Structure 1
């Protein structure tokens, strides 16, 4: 494999702690462990420099091996993983972090996220305090959250004194999360989109197909471009090499304000994934 030494086409987002994350990354949600090495290797070859995984995905080991065997300098690859619900709590978080880092085979993480708030368990504040300790010891550079509501974030800030750098949430044209994005913007929190393509359900949507025809691009490229122009960090996933490359080729065109408005008009507040206020899967009683 021949890897590009740098990816200058991808814009970066400066986080509230001064660290920088590529705005376009590669996600490995639902990528089987036996396929993830090949998928991440292809993504790095194409030019992605941000890789997003999670303990619950069961593919940290293959993800880490692809990163290590790429031959790229470690500081050129931005690595994110997430703490699973069952591991929340101060001491259990520290143990879970060690396990994730060992599976990845890395010396540090660029970004560690609390995967879900599971507010019913009342552990996310202690969990974030453990994140702060890991950051203070240089084991992770940035700390953030995933699937947190405004109320969750407000409590986290009030009780820990630290603003998470990122909130990674379900976000696509049918769930544009406008109010949450506005809150993030007002509090120096970066918005990161998971399921940015609506898990494929938007690729045949008429409005998006029409815009794709107008700009001579695929529906997936149009949706990713919509995310980028909104200012979202976006992490599309695929195991198909041609699609991995297609999803990266989104910097040679722009959507007009009218095209952006047309896509914005698809917002129906429609979730594909769970409601963060009710999701407690994996919680230990």
Structure 2
């Protein structure tokens, strides 16, 4: 059983009409509503989803119910059909031929009965001629509508195919560019990884050299000026810096003023003041020693 669309024709302030819920309705209902709204209808025959669904009912519609379509727009509906296109076309042709033959038979029957009743036969003949004219007019209208729909859809299809070809070309070009960029990126990544390894190696070597240099710098001390100092001062320094001390003595020594220097006074040293010293270096000093 079919039901009429849930909504009647509702004009829109934007020059269109609201699309009703056509899914579950017969295709004839969709055609009638589209005609009243001034739309074109494209019907796509598709197999029913289940064997329980009868033929001729709308399974899907585009746009959806509630949308507003302007006058002249195309309403797309998928209709469940179990017959192939060839069967449908053949049945349509046979139906048309049968209808035409029936009309011709009526005409000949009326002509044959004209001898019995001229007035009655004439009226019936006029009625048959009027019916034939009406059918021809309906056929012309249907053919015109179908031609316009086919031309419109063919134009849209050609434009879509042309655009699709353009997009395919653009996609191919962009794909080639992406492949080139990926190849270049891979080469740059390899070069970067090599530079990172080299940088890390040099960073480690710099740290080692800095540590070694720092250790050397901390271990080096300058030789003080011990001339005139007491031997004990030198011995304390040598012990603190882990140096080796050689002491030489000289019998008596005087200052420039001729005054004698006390015992243990340093009068000479090697190395000289300011010379760098490291642990284990040898220091030689000469000190005054009074003869016993």
Instruction: Pick the TM interval, shorter chain.
Output: under 0.3
TM-score by length of 2: 0.22
If you compute each CA radius of gyration, which structure gives the higher value, 1 or 2? 2
TM-score by length of 1: 0.22
Structure possessing the higher relative contact order (Cα contacts under 8 Å, 6 or more residues apart): 1
Give the number of the structure whose residues are more often helix, by fraction.
Answer: 2
